[in-house]
Amino acid sequence: MSTTDLAVISVAALLALYALVVLALLAVGRRSEARAIAGFIPDCLVLFRRLLADDRVPRSRKVALVLLLAYLALPIDLIPDLIPVAGQLDDAILVVFVLRFTLRGGGPELLAEHWPGPPRSLGLIERFAFGDRREEASPSSGAS
């Protein structure tokens, strides 16, 4: 089996799993969650495109985004996608690290400006990118 065949099979399996999760949520009556999950990956792709086009994003952070997209598009991975869970987990971890690196350069305002999805998904991306930084920046109770 060629590398191209493996890549096509991997993508098809991921899409099938993605669709099954969305359909399962619909079947149990969780329509809003199904809608959020169905749109999350397309929303991330739109976010990447908008960040790459934004002049406020430094070149080094754009290079990191381009390298991430190239890595995700190539059939060669650190852990092959054919290995259940671990194969997709390495991709997800890289996405989180690169998003964190890219978005910390522009701040929450840049993310809020470019995020095309629902506010609930925006909150998830904010937690990945900024963690508890916003809480650390606020004054603690009782301290002057």
pLDDT digits (tens, 9 = 90+) for 38-78: 677 788 889 999 999 999 999 999 999 999 888 888 777 77
Is residue 1 assigned to a domain? no
Cβ contact 128:99 at 8 Å: yes
What residue numbers bound the domain in which 92 lies?
39-137
Contacts (Cβ under 8 Å, ≥6 apart) of 93 = none
- On whether the pTM is more than 0.75, the answer is no
Is residue 77 assigned to a domain? yes
- 49 three-state secondary structure: helix
Cβ contact 111:103 at 8 Å: yes
Alpha helical stretches, state H, 28-139: 31-53, 59-73, 86-114, 119-130, 133-137
Domain count, the chain: 1
Which tokens is 58 given?
């430094």
The pLDDT of residue 86 is 75
Is residue 100 assigned to a domain? yes
Is residue 32 assigned to a domain? no
